[in-house]
Amino acid sequence: MAKERKRRQPADAPPPGDDDEGRDHRREKKPRKERPDPVLPSQIKNKDKRKEVHAKLKREKKAQKRKLARERGQAAQRAPPEKLVPRTIENTREPDETVCRPDDQELFAGNDADEFNAVLKQQTTPKVLITTCRFNSGRGPAFIEELMQVIPNSCYVKRGTYELKKIVEYANNRDFTSLVVVHTNRREPDALLIINLPAGPTAHFKLSKLILRKDIKNHGNPTSHKPELVLNNFTTRLGHRVGRMIQSLFPQEPNFRGRRVVTFHNQRDYIFFRHHRYIFEMKENKIASKDKKAKTSESKSQPEKQVICRLQECGPRFTLKLLTLQHGTFDTKNGEYEWVHKWLSSDEQAGWQIAACCWVLLLHMAWGSHPIQVRPYVSARTSVQAGAYDTEQCSGTWLAPSPGPAMLSAPVWSNG
């Protein structure tokens, strides 16, 4: 009888037929348990427990990072993304119209009539005179000593108080083909002047980042053999002319037994100089024998001789930057320049001039009682571009216009 009795239901219970509604009603009444906030290691006072929680969080973070990397790799395999090309100075430059082409007949005709033809065709033996500025000290003498070992058939003459024109006459009377002047400033060589004799041209280079032989690690000592000459990336008309000028300093018959290499590498209009000698070495590599019956260790390993070639730098090491190229020998008053380095392009110069005029106008507006004459600033380099004659800015020197953008290598101008 007790089993047959119905269980008493609470007053708010749903009727017995509506089972689903009752379940939903009971579900709604249960309070949801909110997840507690994760405990940070800094909130734990126990040192051991804090280390344990920190290590656990670190492992979870690394696992999540590996998972994301795996997903990215799988997505890249399914659809490889387009490779982005970085924007550099080299690929944003405009093409140069003065690049020398191998089928340029005008260029070859000019080579036969230029000032370096006699030396490059071995009609005259190159003979180089090296001198300094009037006050030479610091690393200048050491640099000249190493430069004489680089350039064969060269000799040094002390400058003293003689003017450069007297040195040029002295070199012409003794049948020198080139004159190299090393200029020092604050006991440090900072410029190089190369004058082709007897009638020029004259190239003025800025010299920087000089490292002598003693400062080069594992350097070698050069021999007296005639070196091989390597000229890289002198591709424009101006670069071709400068390259031939450098080439006229060295004999055209290198002695390959000396294993000497002199390199002038042009990149972004900077000429990097390096002096190496290559060395051939015999190296023995032990090859394990496949003969299983071999018992002794000598029969198991068979030495194999291999010839290995490596480079050893002899120094010095420096960088050149062409500043001016002048017709004839060195002349500061009446010289005619083929090319002058412009620090700013024409657009940049115009921008600086406009900015200067704006500042003058602002000053004039601020100080209205004081009249100020607004005159655009014209520099010597601007007059070079226009081919002008300006006695104030150019010191009475007529500067011929450049035949083009005229840099040493192509491409020339940068958009970025």
Q: CA-based diameter of the chain, in Å?
A: 146
Read off the tokens for 63. Answer: 């696992």
Cβ atoms of 26 and 18 within 8 Å: the answer is no
DSSP string, 202-243: EEEEEEEEEE-GGGSTT-----SSPPEEEEES--BHHHHHHH
Kindly state the helix (H) or strand (E) to which residue 260 belongs, with its residue range: strand 260-267
Q: In the CATH scheme, what is the code of domain 106-284+306-340? A: 3.40.50.10480
Q: Quick check: 341 and 326 in contact, CB under 8 A?
A: no
Would you give the DSSP letter of residue 96? P
The Cα–Cα gap between 373 and 360 comes to 9
Q: What is the pLDDT of residue 200?
A: 84
Determine the pLDDT at residue 372.
46
pLDDT for 380: 38
Listed by start position, the domains of the chain span 106-284+306-340
The radius of gyration of the chain's CA atoms, rounded to the nearest angstrom, is 39
C-alpha angle 163/167/172, rounded to 5°?
145
- Number of C-beta neighbours around residue 340 at 10 A: 22
C-beta separation of 137 from 185 below 8 A? no
d(CA 284, CA 63): 48
Contact 342, 384 (CB under 8 A): yes
The token pair that represents 283 in the structure block: 């190296």
Q: What is the pTM of this model?
A: 0.63
pLDDT, one tens digit for every residue, the chain (416 residues): 444 455 555 555 555 555 555 555 555 555 666 767 777 888 888 899 999 999 999 999 999 999 999 998 888 888 766 778 888 877 787 777 888 888 888 888 888 888 999 999 999 999 999 999 988 888 999 999 999 999 999 999 999 889 999 999 999 999 999 999 999 998 899 999 999 999 889 999 999 999 999 999 999 999 999 999 999 999 899 999 999 999 999 999 999 988 999 999 998 889 999 999 989 888 887 666 555 555 555 555 567 788 888 999 998 999 999 999 999 998 888 889 999 988 765 666 667 777 777 877 887 777 764 554 444 444 433 333 333 333 333 333 333 333 444 556 554 333 33
For residue 262, count CB atoms less than 10 angstroms from its CB and return exposed for 0-12, middle for 13-18, buried for 19 or more: buried
